[in-house]
Amino acid sequence: MPAEQDNQEIIRPIKGKGDPDLGPVALMVMLHQELKWLVRISGAVEVRFSETPLYRLYQADGGPSGAPPVALAGPFFGAPHAVLGLEKLIALGVKTVWVLGWCGSLQPDLNAGHFVIPDRAVSEEGTSRHYPIAKKAPEAHPGLTCTVAQAAARNGWAYKKGTVWTTDAIYRETPKKVRHFQKMGVLAVDMEMSALLTVAAYRGADLAALLVVSDELSSLKWKPGFSNPRLYENTRMGGQLLLHLARATGDISDAPD
């Protein structure tokens, strides 16, 4: 068997029998309650497909501009689960992906409810290494990332753009590792971004994300922010913004202020 064929996947992400044809744009939502809320405000309709037991898939219309329908998918937890969803979305025709999630801050000036816009990610998860791309930190799509940042700035939101650290081991975020990534200027830690960025690059899709700080590790002690109303208020605002951007297919000229 030729070496190229020998490295091809045996189980491939494909459009299965009865799977829908999606439009070119999708919004992946890591969070269960935020997905339910976005489905409700967008009027999205659930779509049955071959991976329905693993996460949910919906389609919303393109909004007043008459843009193509937008797929909403989730919730997801961790790199393998999120990549399973991303692979399927791409197989069903999606080319542009927006991501909404939470993260833990590593820097003292990032507090619960602040926004993080990842432009690249450092991988300590086990999924992305199986996708052969150039040996560098996977990067978000620069144009889409700039679009999110400009919209956040117009709205006066507290945000930072930069690198995030992705790990599978939520209970092994040690002081040594936190200090290491702080010194590198890494903004936050999450469980999906490096894998999503890697797979998007490998499959030729464009991807950008907006994360909301849910907890803080910069003091080397865990400070959860899950009782902070600002976390949930800002997550809702961020989700609404990404839905708008998805519907506008990247045009922010009429983004809500």
Selecting among 168, 215, 251, 254, the annotated active-site residue is 215
CB 87 within 8 A of CB 13: yes
From 200, 216, 211, 191, select the one nearest 126 (Cα to Cα).
191
Once rounded to an integer, what is the mean pLDDT over residues 73-86? 98
The dihedral of CA 208, 42, 39, 87: what is its sign? negative
**Residues facing residue 161 across a β-bridge:** 117
- Pseudo-torsion of CA 34, 252, 139, 44, nearest 10°? 30
Contacts for 237 with CB less than 8 Å, ≥ 6 apart? 155, 157
Query: Which amino acid, 8?
Result: Q
The 10s digit of each residue's pLDDT in 179-200 is 999 999 999 999 999 999 999 9
Scored b (16 or more CB within 10 A) or e, 192-201 reads bbbbbbbbbb
168 in active site: no
Question: Taking the complete model, does pTM exceed 0.85, yes or no?
Answer: yes
CA–CA distance, 238 with 101 (Å, rounded to integer): 9
Domain limits of the chain?
A: 20-247
Span 13-28, pLDDT tens digits: 888 888 998 989 999 9
Q: At what angle do helices 79-91 and 193-203 cross, to 10 degrees?
A: 30
Of 185, 166, 192, 182, which is closest to residue 220 (Cα–Cα)? 182
Distance of CA 221 to CAs 4, 54, 110, 152, Å?
Answer: 48, 34, 15, 29
Fold of 20-247: Rossmann fold (3.40.50)
- What band does 137 get if pLDDT is binned at 50, 70 and 90? confident
The 10s digit of each residue's pLDDT in 196-248 is: 999 999 999 999 999 999 999 999 999 999 999 999 999 999 999 999 999 99
